[in-house]
Chains A and B, each alone.
Chain A
Amino acid sequence: EVQLVESGGGLVQPGGSLRLSCAASGFTFSSYWMNWVRQAPGQGLESVANINEDGSAKNYVDSVKGRFTISRDNAKNSLYLQMNSLRAEDAAVYYCAGDQMGYWGQGTLVTVSS
């Protein structure tokens, strides 16, 4: 059974940092592009970043460029999102998703507030 389990969310002040993690199991993690997708409260879905199979190619949505960094550790079947200089508009549930959004985790909530 495919499982993606996110962790690392929480309450952070504007300007602060968080590191999200996603633990994958049940599929060959190293064979797939992986994504971070977020959903602000009551809103739709927004792609944040993605990374190719070996981590050599990364893409970011314009609003997070220079602030967020996506990475992966295929030996640990894990995906990460380092989020710096957080803003109120970054508050959302962050989902880890793989294989052209065929696999989704349960999400982790990031709240940005003073």
Chain B
Amino acid sequence: GAGVSQSPSNKVTEKGKDVELRCDPISGHTALYWYRQSLGQGLEFLIYFQGNSAPDKSGLPSDRFSAERTGGSVSTLTIQRTQQEDSAVYLCASSFSGDPGETQYFGPGTRLLVL
């Protein structure tokens, strides 16, 4: 079946602009995760959605970052007033139910460049 998809694959924006990144999880997966991967760095946890529960936002680096998940499926990560340090690859992952120890399946990422 189809894997996790993300759009756009690349985004170039000017400093100060807002951007929206989209993630389509695997159909039927109730858990969805966002990560940030800066050049040569590891995967930094941003936010986690599980069904209808309140999201775990503990990884969001500032109040310029927000995410929503409508209808329990598609998620959008929004970065307001982008800064150059926001440049990174933003990865989305999903898992079936979010139970501990479940495999997370990653999307291809969105490469964001803030000029």
- Do A and B assemble together? no
Binding site for A on B (CB under 8 A): none
